[in-house]
Amino acid sequence: MLDRQSIQVAGLPALGPHSHAVRAAGLLFVSGQPGVAPSTGEASGSSFELQARQAFKNLETILRIAGTRLSLVVNTTILMTDIANFAQLNELFAEFFPSDPPARMVMQVPLPKGLLISIGCVAVCGD
């Protein structure tokens, strides 16, 4: 039987009924993290950069609490409302993944509650 562990991170908002992450088969599957400030539960400003930075920070928090880190991320899925922000996303991606970046898929989609970005990932569980 496959070992599976759901992870909820206190203080991080969840927009609906889901786990922040699930650990299974030596991997951590992290749900899409929006640019929502944990302190307010609201979008971190109206700019793409502010929300994207917060989304990366939320992702990093979940990885750390689950015992892994950004350098062990193997795949990301990024949802954004405006593909015109793609160049800025690339700059931030390079900042948060400075070497050996993970595989990535980016899609333009509508997001709820004034959100501009959501980032999910798969990471190898920490060593």
Coil vs helix vs strand at 36: strand
**Confidence band for 15, pLDDT divided at 50, 70 and 90:** confident
Domains in the chain with CATH codes: 4-124 (3.30.1330.40)
At 34-84, the pLDDT tens digits run: 998 888 888 777 899 999 999 999 999 999 999 999 999 999 999 999 999
pLDDT, tens digit, for every residue of 75-122?
A: 999 999 999 999 999 999 999 999 999 999 999 999 998 899 999 999
Q: Where does the pLDDT of residue 127 fall: very low under 50, low under 70, confident under 90, or very high at 90 and above?
A: low
**Distance separating alpha carbons of residues 46 and 120, to the nearest angstrom:** 21
Identify the helix (H) or strand (E) that includes residue 13: none
Q: pTM of this prediction?
A: 0.92
Question: What is the greatest pairwise CA distance in the chain?
Answer: 45
The answer to whether 28 and 63 have CB atoms below 8 angstroms apart is: yes
**Helix H or strand E encompassing 90:** helix 86-96
Q: What is the mean pLDDT of the chain?
A: 92
Please tell me the number of Cα atoms within 13 Å of 56 on its side-chain side. 16
